[in-house]
Amino acid sequence: MDDLIDYYFRLGYQHQEILLYLLQHGISLSIRSLKRQLKRLNCYRRKNYTSIEEISNFLNEQMMTSGMLLGYKWMHRRCILNGFIVKQQTVRRLLYIIDPVGVESRRRRLSRRQYYNKGPNYLWHIDGYDKLTPYGICISGCIDGFSRKILWARAAHTNRNPMVIAGYFLEVVNELYGFPQTIRTDMGTENTVIETLQKLSNEITNSENHTLPPPPLSTVLVTQTNELRLGGQCFEDITYCFMDTIQTELNEFVLEWNNHSIRQTRHSIAPSGRPETMYTFPEVYDTQNYLVSIDPDLINIEEFEEVCEFLSIPSADEDVFELCNIISEEMQLQKPENPYDAMTNYVLLRREIIPQLV
């Protein structure tokens, strides 16, 4: 129980939210009992603040990664998730000192459209991120429309292979043990297998089945990829060096996004709160979970898996991937911790690999 309380507290959850999640684990506590447990575990938000020096060092490290694009509120969330106790205003002031240019560039506000969704799993949005495609790194993502919870964000050597995208889809379906009511994608061929699986599941379960026009899927990703066009060429070993780093960034972003608090805006009709909480406890928001549960008597998931592809390596070329493994071991290259380390490995590997491929 102590580990669970500490975990949900470190995610930044309020007391009532922690109690809801503890109930899912079969633990029932009152508010007073929870406060006593938090005090015993030394879990405070306004005591024992982390030193300014430690926070500054952490923020400087974040400037080497996707953290360079984060505003002070999101950066404060990242600090909390990494175990620091710090005020939001402290993070804001430090960011202005460390990255004044970035702070000024984020002052503009966006104008957003209204969006309505019935409840969790009523509508999933699936789309790809193609800005890194010229480097052989393709990203696919899916988000629940009601809660705005990210269901997957995956980096691979393709996001155009319909069997690969269907594999991502089926992994989440297996995890939830159910299908969404509807999915929304663009008209690309990469979504044809998902469309078939969704239509088939709807026909079997007699659920509604229709296609909706495509909206944009917003996913934040930052890498220093422009520096990789050395000599105007781009090689397969980029995926070997950068894929794990990018996937780690994506995983960190998904955790932060799903547990951050979405504010109620003046003209929005969408619910506010944490995506994870809105997704897990729809009753709190006067709605229901629209997940279409899998009936093993009607749906055989193994048959669905036959039309999916589950990637085992990040590279499209297995020979180059194995060659990179061998050379990395010979050169004793360390696993990159940030994009700059990954680029250093790439340059070193490229010098060794090119003569062997000619």
Residue 352 has pLDDT above 60, yes or no: yes
Vertex 83, ends 279 and 1: CA angle to 5°? 60
Among 3.30.420, 1.25.40, 1.10.760, 3.40.50, name the CATH number for the domain at 123-221+261-305: 3.30.420
pLDDT for the residue 208: 54
The answer to which of 50-54, 186-190, 254-258 has the lowest mean pLDDT is 186-190
| Higher pLDDT pick, 333 / 223 | 333
**DSSP, res 262:** B
Q: What six digits make up the tokens of 39?
A: 């005090």
- Please tell me the distance from the alpha carbon of residue 283 to that of residue 290, in angstroms, as a whole number: 12
Question: How many Å separate Cα 277 from the centre of its chain?
Answer: 16
How many angstroms separate the CA atoms of 256 and 77, rounded? 7
* Cβ-contact 237, 346 below 8 angstroms: yes
Query: What phi and psi values does residue 243 have, to the nearest 5 degrees?
Result: -60, -45
Better-scored residue on pLDDT, 35 or 312: 35
Helix (H) or strand (E) holding 52: helix 52-62
Phi, psi of 179 (to 5 degrees): -105, 155
Give residue-wise pLDDT tens across range 52-88: 999 999 999 999 888 888 889 999 999 998 989 999 9
Domains of the chain, by residue range, sit at 1-45, 49-105, 123-221+261-305
Residue 223 has pLDDT above 90, yes or no: no
Q: What is the pLDDT of residue 224?
A: 39
Among all chains, which residue has been given the structure tokens 């951050």? Answer: 260
pLDDT at residue 122 greater than cutoff 90: yes
Reported confidence tier of residue 351, pLDDT bands at 50, 70, 90? confident
> Is the pLDDT confidence value at 207 over 60?
no
3-state secondary structure of 162: helix
Round the average pLDDT of the chain to a whole number and report it. Answer: 83
